[in-house]
A and B are shown apart, each in its own frame.
Chain A
Amino acid sequence: MALTIISLIKQVPLPSEMRMGEDGLMDRTKAKSIINVDCQFGLEAGLQLKKKYPDARMIACSMGPFSFETALKTALSMGYDEAYLLSDRKLGGSDTYATGLALATLLKHLGFTKESKEPFIIFTGRQTSDGDTAHVPSQVAENMGLPQATFVERVEADGKGNIIARRIIEGGHQELQLPMPCVVSLTPTGIPPRKPSLSGAIKARNTNITVLGVDDINLTSPKIGLAGSPTIVANVQNITSDRPPVMMAEGQGDKELVDSFITQFETGGNTLQKKEEKERRVRETPDFPVIDTREENRGILTWAEVVNGKISPSSLELLTPSLNLAEQLGGETKITTVLIGKNVKPLAKTLFEHGSDEVVVVEDDRLEEYLVLPFSDILAQVIRERKPEIALFAATTAGRELAPRIGVKTGSGVTADCTGLEIGEYVNRREKEIIRPILHSRRPTYGESKLATILGFIYPQISTARPGTFPVPKQQDGRTGTLSVFKPKLKEEDFIVKIRKTVRGEGGLQSLLDADVIISGGRGATSDNLQLVKELAAALKEKGIKAEWAGSRVVVDEGVAEYARQIGQTGRTVRPKVYVAVGISGAIQHIYGIKEAGTIVAIDHNPKASIFKHADFGILGEYEDVVPELIDRVKGGFTFGVEPAKS
């Protein structure tokens, strides 16, 4: 009974921070294609598992144009034996929902189903650098009816047919035990992918890649390709900086530089010269009939994530866009929040006081800790009963796997990691109609300073919202609402994944969101593994300042900082009073994650680093020299103008 190890990979343009052009945009002329980095970690996880199962059959699969054969060849030269490419014009423009469906159909066609007698395991990357949704692993798992573990950095086999996966969660990690077959998505903090070997490349040259189309795999669903996808990209616009130009410290040597910086900091930076915005030519809305496609679907549903016996702040933040959307929708629009757990009923009060009109409580002793299978099942059942038009989740590690899994159950597409949620309309020029109201979900797209607006046409319209983007609504003491109890139908099978342990460390999400000063390190601050960054934060803490340290995506990917400390894209938005960027080049997603910060100070040796274009104050120098000097000043009483927190 040989194991089959399957790896799903995608080919993407090289998303290197190093290739950011002069204008801060990705220089596409230099972009090569690579296997998406997270997928490479998935490939490696498969090869590591093979050490335990030397007879395992190794299969790599991808979906995309013929050029994706390059990626599959690389997988073969890393040690995979067979490769399949699902390639069909009909699949062009597929969103994540359609992609998940197509890949699951491919795997079923290859003989891998829940009922298969032979065990198998599917490895994927956590998310792709060009889409950045992290949806597809969940969608494949749901389409195949398999258990899953996402955001995993370590995989081991227990020799009894189970996989032990170390899953990253906010502020720590979890150890999950999953039976095979299952789907496991890997973060780039796992074991780094191996280089292809020459002997592997020679083997790859002599191995044919099987290319299959939708007819070959009997993919008959209309929900594929651009036309069949439940979501569309309606609009893409530029993100512009609204900070005044940076003020650079002047002087020779570290001491003078830091002196100059402190003087500048205390007297205030440059002021913004408002440029007159050119009036944008508004495309006239044609006189089409307005239709409301919602039918009986009404209201907004949110999920309240419970962490350590409390409602997670990101779930409370979710009520801000919910309240706005309810107001824009008008009338009787209600906000229903689902609260799942063990003895969670008392927490409903907090939700009412922050804006929920109704709290649906689901209690069960087995639901004390979040698990994707029962939670997605419960939420889908509530959705089917309540028929909300919109369902919102915080884009936490839980929300980001839960939402797509639910989406497959309800047939909805999902928009990931939104930073803006509004009600608008969709002008369908082909059908000559206007759909109104419809949810406009806005999210930054990778590598470019663009904000995409995504629309979904299947109800509920599901989106996840980036933690830290929306403020927690003002608490209204004494506000109440309807408390109802929901009894879900749960299957034994929903509990086949076991949590072996949960570790939540100090720091991480919450203290980053609460911090007044964040000292953050990037690639350029790693020669001491962020030691100086941590010391500067510690020196501020000693002065009673609410300070935390954090890292850019690169340092997290390299394992120097844990995921929970990542700032920027698919990490989080922070809004400290002062943000100090040390050795951070300023990739656009990072800039987006800090744009709410009060004052931004940048320290880097590269005068061209784009972080300087987005900072208020800049110090040009080696961080190894500048930061010790700053630490001395902090010890001497300089606290970046922030008052010690009253405890």
Chain B
Amino acid sequence: MDNVTVKTDVLIIGGGPSGLSFAIRLADLLKEKGLERRILLIDKGNSIGSHIISGALVRPGIFSELLPDTPAEEIPFDSKVSSNKMYMLSERGKLRIPITPPYMGNKGHYTASLGELCRFLANKAEEKGVEIYTGFAMSDILYDEKGKVIGAKTIDTGVDQQGNQMENFQEGTPVEAKLTIFAEGSRGSLTKKLIQKFNLDEGRNQQIYSLGCKELWSVPEGTIAPGEVYNTMGFPASDFGAFGGGFIYGLKDNKIALGLVIGLDYADPTFDTHNAFQVWKKHPFVAQFLKGGTIVEYGAKTLPEGGYYAVPKLFTDNALIVGDSAGLLAMPALKGIHLAVQSGMLAAQTALVALEQNDFSEKTLQTYEQLVKKSTIHSELYRNRNFRQGFVKGMIPGMFHFGTQLITGGAGFCGRLKNHSDSEATKTLADAKKPLFIEKYKDLEFDKELTFDKVTDVYYSGVAHDDHQVPHLQVNDPETFNTVNIKEYGAPCQYYCSAEVYEVHTDREGKQELRIHFENCLHCKTCDIKEPAGGITWNVPYGGNGPDYKYM
């Protein structure tokens, strides 16, 4: 009886920049046309922004396009970028790179908390009549008898860890929509199902990702000016042939956002992005900014880095994919926010036509992909279409490839560069280059002032999960997991995980088993991406579970 099917014209899954921009734009367009349609936006975070994390450096222009009637100063950016320096770090030293590499300039950009921006956008959307519900997790796509998408359903609640219904069991609410927008962010769990069901990635490169770990610090007055931006390359990622770098952004009120972003196509099964981040913080160049400061927040997320050739088909009957879920992220700048907003706006244009004609078939919705191709999204992705693949063999060949791509307008000398998935890139303990990350940093200690172990960092994410639910992280085949993933690969999950979800426990008889502390999970989805042979599936937990980011 409580399980009434909800009907809406448009269902948006995810309240990040792409979903919210779609909602705002569509509401505006409908109003211009004098049309009234129901727009429902559902987010699994406890509130808008609680699952939102980014660097972030944003281009303000796109927000003015989205909100033409809003004065620019009302948009809650943090600070205007005042200086922008790039350093190449070695284990002990640093080298200033005097020129900014192409496409990595941040002039006219702002530092920001994306969560704060999303809260602002959500208020705007609600003012325009969009219904936003937070704390509800969509666990399944609904299909009609012809197999077409007709909405999604929230997760059933009130089950125990084995999946048995408890007395407080409640079936999830089905939401039937004429049009469903997949705006779940990086590696969306429903988007993944959608792409698989309709082969939307046919003929594309495999999507590859990076993992970013970030901390927000409060530092003594005078440590950094708002808008001071530093990027680092090299140490410590380069020691392990990993692609990645660090960022340090000065924010107002003596806050610093800093993080390390590592491409997940590394080979070392023991590489640990969180711990590499801690090692990076100990580098004198980074440590100087944190002296006398205290940590405020911690978080982690993945970023789709595959670029142009990894973008899936963006539509199917009754559904569109936007933002990070669509892999719309510009390399090498690692910027996706403006593309998320732009894709949301373009999708809204298409949705308006579909709503007007009451036709949500591919025939109408394909316009969205055409609009994207005509937009600057396309030009930004296309000119660096081979950028990331070029770095598969490391930084030096990568730079060479990038150089040739610059000359040839992005093609390089080989045309389209193919790639492997991140999970395939992981090597076994025996095959990986030595010393392994855990060997090199076997004596790594966390002083709880400058550096933190994962559990301590996780505390600063505000994460919480209900105990009574099926663990949302699922080992697909426990037997091969033990014989291959644990024995041969040395259980990479215990290292790559940004939140100490995975623990290999050895009992007194020496028997090993995987323990999953899903209550720590920050929803970064690295396990779904990186586990060898795709051994782990990330599903949504109950709505409202997960991190509770405040200013990330």
Contacts and interface: CB of A to CB of B under 8 A. Distances in A.
A202 B459 CA distance: 32
B76 interface: no
B168 A192 contact: yes
B468 A54 contact: no
Interface string A188-218: 0001111111111110010000000000000
A192 B133 contact: no
A194 B168 contact: yes
A189 B49 CA distance: 33
A198 B154 contact: yes
Contact of A197 (B154, B459, B468, B505): B154
A194 to B, nearest CB: 4
B73 interface: no
B455 interface: yes
Contacts of A198: 6, 42, 133, 136, 154, 172-173, 175
B170 interface: yes
A199 B542 contact: no
Contacts of B60: none
Nearest to B171: A197
B150 to A, nearest CB: 16
A79 interface: yes
B170 A195 contact: yes
B2 interface: yes
Contacts of A202: 6, 131, 133
A463 B135 CA distance: 42
Contact of B2 (A197, A205, A608, A624): A197
Contacts of A30: 462
B358 interface: no
A608 B157 CA distance: 33
Interface string A157-195: 000000000000000000000000000000000011111
A195 B157 contact: yes
Contacts of B548: 32
B6 A199 contact: yes
Nearest to A204: B133
A200 B1 CA distance: 11
A195 B3 contact: no
Contacts of A79: 2
Interface in B464-517: 464, 466-468, 505, 507-508
Contact of B1 (A54, A608, A628): A54
Interface string A41-54: 00010011000001
A65 to B, nearest CB: 20
A47 B169 CA distance: 11
A191 B173 contact: no
A87 interface: no
Given A54-B1, A625-B508, A558 B168 contact: no
A18 B460 CA distance: 11
Contacts of A194: 157-158, 168-170
B2 A199 contact: yes
A613 to B, nearest CB: 15
Contacts of A480: none
Nearest to B550: A30
A606 interface: yes
Nearest to B132: A205
Nearest to A527: B515
A195 B542 contact: yes
> Which of B133, B172, B466, B505 has the most A CB atoms < 10 Å from its CB?
B133
Nearest to B544: A195
A496 B464 CA distance: 44
Interface string B172-188: 11010000000000000
A558 B161 CA distance: 14
Contacts of B158: 192, 194-195
A198 B507 CA distance: 43
B443 interface: no
Interface in B439-470: 448, 455-456, 459, 462, 464, 466-468
Interface in A594-644: 606, 608, 624-625, 628
Interface string B75-119: 000000000000000000000000000000000000000000000
> Which of A191, A200, A202 has the most B CB atoms < 10 Å from its CB?
A202
B35 interface: no
A609 to B, nearest CB: 11
A121 to B, nearest CB: 18
Contacts of A625: 508
Contacts of B133: 198, 201-202, 205
B298 to A, nearest CB: 13
A295 B347 CA distance: 80
B543 interface: yes
Contacts of A200: 2
Contact of B168 (A32, A191, A201, A624): A191
Contacts of A192: 158, 166, 168, 468
B128 to A, nearest CB: 16
B168 A197 contact: no
Contact of B173 (A47, A193, A199, A628): A199
Nearest to A16: B464
A404 B153 CA distance: 47
B179 to A, nearest CB: 18
Contacts of A606: 455
Contacts of B173: 197-199
Contacts of A44: 168
Contact of B3 (A32, A199, A608): A199
B4 interface: yes
Contacts of B172: 197-198
Interface string B531-548: 000000000001110001
Contacts of B145: none
B36 interface: no
B69 interface: no
Contacts of A47: 168
Contacts of A16: 464
A566 B448 CA distance: 33
A79 B462 CA distance: 28
A562 B455 CA distance: 30
A197 B462 contact: no
Contacts of B32: none
B74 interface: no
A33 B68 CA distance: 36
A200 B3 CA distance: 8
Nearest to A193: B168
B167 interface: yes
A205 B157 CA distance: 21
A47 B133 CA distance: 22
A205 B131 contact: yes
B543 A195 contact: yes
Nearest to A194: B168
B130 to A, nearest CB: 12
B3 A196 contact: no
Interface string B132-165: 0101100000000000000000100110000000
Nearest to B466: A195
A30 B543 CA distance: 20
Contacts of B448: 608
Question: Which 4 residue pairs are nearest across A and B when measured between Cβ atoms?
Answer: A198-B173, A194-B168, A195-B157, A199-B173
15 contacts: A195-B466, A195-B543, A196-B135, A197-B157, A197-B170, A198-B6, A199-B173, A201-B135, A201-B136, A202-B133, A205-B131, A606-B455, A608-B456, A624-B505, A628-B508
Interface of A: 16, 18, 30, 32, 44, 47-48, 54, 79, 191-202, 205, 558, 606, 608, 624-625, 628
Interface of B: 1-6, 42, 131, 133, 135-136, 154, 157-158, 166-170, 172-173, 175, 448, 455-456, 459, 462, 464, 466-468, 505, 507-508, 542-544, 548
Given A196-B135, A198-B42, A628-B508, 15 more contacts: A18-B459, A30-B462, A32-B548, A47-B168, A54-B1, A191-B167, A192-B166, A194-B157, A195-B158, A195-B466, A195-B542, A197-B172, A199-B3, A201-B136, A608-B448
